[in-house]
Amino acid sequence: MPHSILFLCNPAMKSLALLDALPDEVNLTVTLDAATIATKVPEADVLVLNTDDQELIRLAVTEGKRVQWIHSLMAGVEKKLVPEIRDVVAPFTNARGVYAESLGEFVLAACLYFAKDFRRMRRQQAEHRWEQFEVNMIAGKTMVILGYGEIGRACAKRASAMGMRVLGIRRRPEYSYGDPYVERVVAFDKRAAVIPEADYLVLAAPNTPETKGLVGAAEIAGMKRTSVLINVGRGPVVEEAALVQALAEEQILGAALDVFDEEPLPAGHAFYGLDNVLLSPHCSDMTPGWLDDSVRFFLKNYQRFRAGAQLENVVNKELGY
């Protein structure tokens, strides 16, 4: 019997053209229309989410009595993981790791941005001012990565290649034993002992009840004055008010931020006016073809689904990632 797949997605998304690779017998519907969802989802075997509209998600999951698998085209699932998804037996998968390489590059670029003081170079260039100054090396510096999963490891791989020392922090340190890119990995509750060693503190953790506020005023106070905080995980992992204060008072050298508590970042937010902040509007992984990569991963996982094999990237619904 052919599978029926329902995509909760903008039908105009160009990456959907890759779905032509699906078997001819697949019944495919792509929509964000509630009425169409209500009509099509009762026959759906697979539900794919590329929206954070929780009302649409609830409708699809509640009425999708036949759904055997739910997939998110994004890696972060905190807005999609509604109670209805937690309650169903169907496995829930995501795009975890699909964007790790591009985020790893952004983190390395942020390290170099502050080490070489590119902001000063651009400022002096604009002022037509020739004034030599010392720049730093990242080789020999320590990168501490909080959230040592796929993104964290991509960061560690690049940092290690540049001669940096890497330390990791994650919920289950034993998952990283033997990893050639990291010197040691500790649990979340040991973070206060490791963060002071960081020249670059990279946050790559998802937004879950366990990770919210893991880096607060106490952790930031423990950082070196010459250290940089880089967040490519989720905004709530760091206490934003404490970070703003630390940056304004130059308690740390700077921050490179791709994620925030509220997105889009409101006009007039303090981050916009801080010279020691490198601000990315949550687009550090938006490389050409980034959505193509996510659709390709879905197609790969769909082949596993058809074959009755174990799906990749199964989300722990209780932990939220």
Task: Give the residue numbers marked as catalytic.
Answer: 234, 263, 282
The SS3 assignment for 302 reads: helix
Q: Classify strands 277-279 and 254-257 as parallel, antiparallel or unpaired.
A: parallel
Q: Token pair of 56, please?
A: 């649409």
- Give DSSP secondary structure letters for 214-282: SB-HHHHHTS-TT-EEEE-S-GGGB-HHHHHHHHHTTSSSEEEES--SSSSPPTT-GGGG-TTEEE--S
By the 10 Å C-beta count (0-12 exposed, 13-18 middle, 19+ buried), 73 is classed as buried
Smallest CA-to-CA distance from 244 within 204, 279, 198 is with 279
- Give DSSP secondary structure letters for 111-179: HHHHHTTHHHHHHHHHTT----------TT-EEEEESTTHHHHHHHHHHHHTT-EEEEE-S-GGGGTT-
Residue 199 carries which side chain, given as an amino acid letter?
D
191 phi, psi to nearest 5 deg: -60, -35
Q: Token pair of 210, please?
A: 């366990």
- Spatial separation of the C-alpha atoms in residues 5 and 302, rounded to whole Å: 10
